[in-house]
């Protein structure tokens, strides 16, 4: 089956040069402007907009979504050669050697992201209307969410690294604002204690700082690109002068403008940026704490869209990485490490949101691994990204629905047996769960299996890589099955372990409809848009995501994996079955007793509960030395710099003290002093002369 | 008569003036002492001019007189002003401009 997917995506076209946008695509700026305008209105009007703030809040992304669909249809009906369009919006920065235009790149890759962001975003906005109904700051919440959507769309539509960075920082800001959304004590409606508020704001700062480390990589990469190539545009802007400095980065790279060493350096810096934004090893520690934000935020920003920006960056920079196999290998290694890391952490977490966050980390690890595999993987990274956007957002919203029912409880040890009380949440969550573990014919099966298969492909000059990456990806699939099943069974199956005051109930329709929509996406997306069967009745014009992405990421290179694809599929499914079975006998079967307080557990369990001690390592390596370094600097500043300044001042005061002693105020004494002085002078003069 | 006597007279006058300034409290008297010192100086300058056989000293004496005239105007004005506000002509009472350890 899966070979079909691979072979179906055989080369159909080479990378396409952009052309000046026409039709709906030329209005792409409105995709960004609508949510941005809504955010501005909601923020500027303040409390006056409290009563109706959620209306523009969800209508703006919905309108963007409609526009996105129109643009997508336009590109789909156009020839492949016309699917990369560029909207030029004028000169942005014109300073000496840097001549940067403000433009949007509307191509299959960015439009895929636009659809994902606006569609999933709209559903999450609608869900939030009900989820945040009791919050006194719901209007502000929607303003930040819209700001996020606008920034994220800027990120994916940008035609240059600098504009991408602008959106990159925008989503970072929105993420920071939303993680720390509950950063003050609230005692009516949605209650927040002071200690909790403090914890939330610390979590938002942690995310912000970890992201800044990644941004450093982005800035260095941009600096190197500008120094080497004199431009930051991805591709040459159509209709502009085509001198050497005007050619886009990728055109110059294709023309041999970069040495391999320089491309490797830039690639590694971009990887650092991606690690920060996408919570990849070693900058992954912020994602678990980011769950302090409201659940819709976790679904939209920390599962479906923002955290995948790193993958987008790598795939977008594909021509650079094609030139630098070592940088690509580093991407794959980071992905493989994070994949296992997230999966192991996910197996031990009892907090439902943190378990999902660990799962997100692990799934993005898959995407990074795929992106690091090069032409055999770029398309699958994006395909898995979109599929993951559906099922993970669905599961996060499901978790929010459960928390809503259980009085904001997140400890899965206090759930159990919820399937009977929350039929819709249970059923929609089940689709997400089956989709992520790769249950046959659901989305995960069509999006993750090709990555595992591609990981087993031996590329030129590789020795151990296919085996290591392949086995890690395969093992990750088994672990995914275990931890997701554990999460599902602990929440919905088994005996009830509720707090006495909990009265679980199904959520309002405004929350269940988005859940249903996302469940449909989780179930059907893979079959409809990824799987490309050879059945005669299957319409040939029907879009296939991997083929659709070809103009941007290039065709999927066909290579034979080192093991036959059937073996890979069967072994993966067997591992998944083992994972589910293990989770069932430990957490799901009716006879099992899940203790309400976590048992001590093995050293590995304890380590996984503590995020494999990443915080401890960070503390030991960075935070504590950093604290001492700043303390030493503060001390030096006080002792040396301030000491010198204050010493001079004290000296002046002391001299003044001595000088004012003789000032007694007696005129005759002054006269006597003068007379005496004259006498002394005369004596001296006489003495010198004689 | 030896020119030396003029110089001696000048020294005596200067010393008397200086002593007056140093020991008398009344501002007017102290002022007169200053005038006496200035005139003693003038006498010395004129004598030196005589000794040297040129007019340098005499010219300087004129300058001293002019400055003294101006100084008398200013000095007397200050003394009168102080007397009006403080009802005293004693130089020891005018002692506000000094190092105050404790401003309170």
Q: Please, which residues have CB within 8 angstroms of residue A334's CB and are 6 or more apart in sequence?
A: A271, A275, A280, A281, A365, A368, A372
For residue B104, the 8-state DSSP code is -
Residue A671: helix, strand or coil by DSSP?
A: helix
CB contact under 8 A, B92 and A668: yes
DSSP-derived secondary structure letter, A527? I
pLDDT at A9: 36
- Output DSSP code: residue A239: T
Please give the Cα distance from A338 to A455 (Å, whole number).
Answer: 15
Task: Give the mutation candidate from A665, A666, A682 for the B interface (greatest B CB count, under 10 A).
Answer: A665
Q: Cβ B95–A664 below 8 Å, yes or no? A: yes
Taking an 8 Å cut-off on Cβ atoms, the answer to whether A667 and B95 are in contact is yes
A636 vs A624: CA distance, rounded Å: 18
Q: How many CA atoms lie within 13 A of A140 on its CB side?
A: 12
- Distance CA(A331)–CA(A262), nearest Å, equals 16
- Cβ within 8 Å of residue A123, ≥6 positions away: A393, A397, A514, A517, A518
Write down the pLDDT at residue A43: 92
- Do the Cβ atoms of B95 and A663 come within 8 Å? no
CB of A195 within 8 Å of a chain B CB? The answer is: no
pLDDT in tens, A371-408: 998 888 888 899 999 999 999 999 999 999 998 888 88
Return the bridge partners of A85, or none: A19, A106
Q: In the β-sheet with A98-106, what is the strand arrangement from edge to edge? A: A19-20, A85-95, A98-106
Is the Cβ of A666 closer than 8 Å to some Cβ of chain B?
Answer: yes
At A243 the pLDDT is 58
Between the alpha carbon of residue A23 and those of residues A27, A75, A112, the distances in Å are: 8, 10, 18
Would you call A668 and B99 a contact, using CB atoms and an 8 Å cutoff?
A: no
Smallest CA-to-CA distance from A322 within A254, A257, A381, A382 is with: A254
Contacts of A222 (CB under 8 A, 6+ apart): A161, A162, A165, A232
Q: Give the best residue of A657, A658, A671, A674 to mutate against chain B (max B CB count within 10 A).
A: A671
Residues 342-401 of A with CB under 8 A from B: none
- Nearest partner of A289 among A404, A408, A201, A364, judged by Cα: A201
- What is the predicted pLDDT for the residue at A14? 52
> Which spans in A554-666 are helix H?
565-583, 603-609, 614-618, 624-636, 642-660
Residue A685, min C-alpha distance to chain B (Å): 19
The predicted pLDDT at position A150 comes to 95
Residues of chain B that touch chain A, judged by Cβ-Cβ distance less than 8 Å: 18, 21-23, 25, 30, 91-92, 94-99
Judge: B22–A668 Cβ closer than 8 Å, yes or no. Answer: yes
- What distance in Å separates the CA atoms of residue B3 and residue A204, rounded to the nearest whole number? 100
Which chain B residues have a beta carbon less than 8 Å from that of A665?
Answer: 94-99
The secondary element (H helix, E strand) that includes residue A94 is strand A85-95
- Residues of chain A with Cβ-Cβ distance to B96 below 8 Å are 665
Average pLDDT over residues B60-77: 94
Residues of chain B in contact with residue A664, where contact means CB-CB under 8 angstroms, are: 95, 98-99
Q: Which residues of chain A lie closer than 8 angstroms to B30, CB-CB? A: 667-668, 671
**What is the reported pTM?**
0.80
At A171 the pLDDT is 93
Structure tokens, A650:
């004290």
Task: Judge contact between A349 and A609, C-beta under 8 A.
Answer: yes
Parts of chain A with a pLDDT under 50: 1-13
The reply to whether A602 touches chain B by the CB within 8 Å rule is no
Q: What stretches of A132-191 show up as alpha helix (H) in DSSP?
A: 138-157, 161-179
Q: What is the pLDDT of residue A337?
A: 94
CB pairs under 8 A between A and B: 36
CB A493 within 8 A of CB A417: yes
Number of C-beta neighbours around residue A29 at 10 A: 17
Residue A387 and residue A530 in contact, taking contact as beta carbons nearer than 8 Å = yes
CB contact under 8 A, B95 and A675: no
Is B99's pLDDT higher than 80? no
- Select the residue of B23, B91, B99 nearest A667 (Cβ to Cβ): B91
B101 pLDDT band, cuts 50/70/90, is low
Cβ contact B96–A675 (<8 Å) = no
Which of B26, B98, B101, B103 should be substituted to probe chain A, the one whose Cβ sees the most A Cβ atoms within 10 Å? Answer: B98
The pLDDT score that the predictor gives to residue B29 is 93
Evaluate whether A227 touches A293 at the Cβ level (below 8 Å). no
pLDDT (0 to 100) of residue A244: 53
CA distance B29 to chain A (A): 12
Enumerate the β-bridge partners of residue A88. A103
- Residue A114 CA, distance from chain mean position: 15
Chain B CB within 8 Å of residue A645 CB? no
Q: How many residues does chain B have?
A: 104
Residue A78 main-chain phi, psi, to 5 deg: -80, 165
Q: Scan for tokens 């209105």, then name that residue.
A: A41
Concatenating the DSSP letter of every residue in B51-99 gives HHTSSHHHHHHHHHHHHHHHHHHHHHHHHHHHHHHHS--BTTT---SS-
* pLDDT for res A118: 93
Q: Which of B21, B22, B95 sits opposite A665 (nearest CB)?
A: B95
| Chain segment B13-56, per-residue pLDDT in tens | 999 999 999 999 899 999 999 999 999 999 999 999 999 999 99
């Amino acid at each position: 089956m899966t070979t079909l997917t691979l072979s179906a995506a055989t080369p159909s076209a080479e990378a396409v040069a952009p052309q000046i946008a026409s039709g709906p695509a030329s209005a792409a700026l409105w995709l960004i402007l609508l949510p941005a305008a809504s955010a501005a209105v909601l923020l500027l009007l303040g409390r006056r907009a409290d009563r109706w703030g959620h209306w523009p809040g969800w209508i703006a992304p919905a309108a963007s979504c409609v526009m996105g669909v129109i643009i997508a249809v336009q590109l789909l009906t156009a020839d492949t050669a016309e699917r990369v369009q560029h909207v030029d919006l004028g000169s942005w920065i014109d300073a000496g050697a840097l001549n940067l235009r403000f433009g949007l790149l509307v191509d299959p890759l960015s439009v895929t992201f636009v659809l994902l962001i606006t569609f999933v975003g709209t559903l999450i906005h609608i869900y939030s209307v009900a989820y945040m109904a009791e919050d006194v700051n719901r209007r502000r919440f929607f303003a930040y969410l819209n700001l996020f959507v606008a920034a994220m769309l800027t990120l994916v539509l940008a035609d240059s690294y600098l504009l991408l960075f602008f959106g990159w920082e925008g989503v970072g800001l929105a993420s920071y604002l939303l993680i720390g959304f509950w950063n003050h004590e609230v005692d009516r409606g949605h209650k927040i204690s002071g200690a909790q508020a403090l914890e939330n704001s610390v979590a938002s700062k942690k995310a912000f700082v970890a992201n800044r480390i990644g941004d450093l990589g982005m800035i260095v990469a941009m600096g190197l690109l500008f120094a080497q190539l004199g431009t930051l545009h991805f591709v040459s802007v159509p209709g502009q002068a085509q001198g050497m400095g005007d050619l886009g980065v990728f055109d110059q790279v294709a023309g041999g403008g970069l040495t391999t060493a320089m491309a490797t350096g830039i690639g590694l810096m971009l990887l650092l940026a991606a690690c920060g934004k996408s919570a990849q090893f070693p900058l992954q520690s912020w994602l678990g704490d980011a769950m302090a934000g409201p659940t819709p935020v976790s679904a939209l920003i920390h599962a479906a869209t923002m955290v995948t920006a790193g993958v987008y960056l790598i795939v977008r920079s594909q021509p650079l990485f094609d030139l630098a196999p070592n940088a690509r290998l580093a991407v794959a290694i980071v992905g493989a490490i994070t994949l296992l890391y997230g999966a192991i952490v996910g197996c031990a977490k009892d907090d439902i949101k943190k378990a999902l966050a660990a799962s997100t980390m692990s799934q993005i690890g898959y995407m990074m691994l795929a992106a690091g595999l090069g032409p055999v993987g770029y398309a699958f990274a994006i395909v898995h990204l979109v599929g993951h956007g559906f099922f993970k957002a669905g599961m996060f919203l499901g978790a929010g629905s459960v928390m809503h029912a259980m009085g904001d409880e997140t400890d899965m040890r206090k759930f159990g047996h919820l399937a009977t009380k929350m039929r819709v949440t249970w059923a929609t969550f089940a689709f997400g769960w089956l989709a992520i573990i790769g249950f046959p014919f659901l989305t995960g099966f069509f999006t993750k299996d090709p990555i595992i298969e591609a990981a087993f492909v031996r590329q030129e000059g590789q020795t151990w890589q296919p085996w290591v990456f392949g086995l890690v990806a395969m093992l990750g699939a088994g672990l995914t099955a275990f931890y997701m099943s554990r999460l599902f069974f602990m929440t919905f199956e088994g005996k009830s372990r509720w707090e006495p005051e909990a009265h679980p109930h199904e959520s309002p329709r405004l929350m269940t409809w988005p859940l249903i929509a996302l469940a449909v996406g989780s179930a059907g997306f893979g079959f409809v848009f990824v799987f490309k069967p050879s059945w005669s009745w299957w319409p040939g014009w029907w879009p296939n995501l991997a083929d659709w992405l070809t103009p941007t990421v290039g065709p999927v290179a066909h290579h034979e994996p080192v093991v036959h694809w059937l073996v890979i599929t069967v072994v993966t499914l067997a591992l998944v079955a083992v994972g589910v079975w293990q989770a069932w006998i430990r957490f799901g079967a009716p006879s099992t007793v899940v203790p309400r307080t976590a048992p001590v557990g093995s050293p590995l369990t304890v380590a996984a509960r503590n995020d494999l001690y990443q915080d401890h390592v960070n503390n030991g390596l960075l935070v504590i030395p950093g604290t001492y370094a700043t303390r030493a600097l503060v001390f030096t500043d006080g002792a040396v710099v301030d000491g010198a300044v204050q010493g001079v001042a004290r000296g002046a005061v002391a001299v003044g003290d001595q000088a004012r002693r003789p000032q007694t105020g007696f005129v005759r004494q002054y006269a006597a002093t003068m007379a005496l002085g004259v006498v002394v002078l005369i004596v001296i003069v006489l003495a010198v002369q004689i | 008569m030896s020119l030396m006597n003029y110089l001696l007279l000048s020294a005596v006058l200067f010393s008397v003036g200086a002593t007056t300034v140093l020991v008398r409290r009344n501002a007017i008297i102290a002022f007169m002492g200053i005038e006496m010192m200035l005139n003693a100086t003038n006498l010395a300058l004129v004598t030196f001019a005589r000794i040297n056989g040129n007019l340098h000293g005499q010219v300087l004496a004129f300058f001293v007189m002019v400055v003294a005239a101006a100084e008398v105007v200013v000095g007397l004005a200050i003394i009168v002003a102080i007397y009006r506000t403080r009802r005293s002509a004693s130089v020891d009472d005018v002692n506000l401009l000094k190092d105050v350890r404790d401003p309170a």
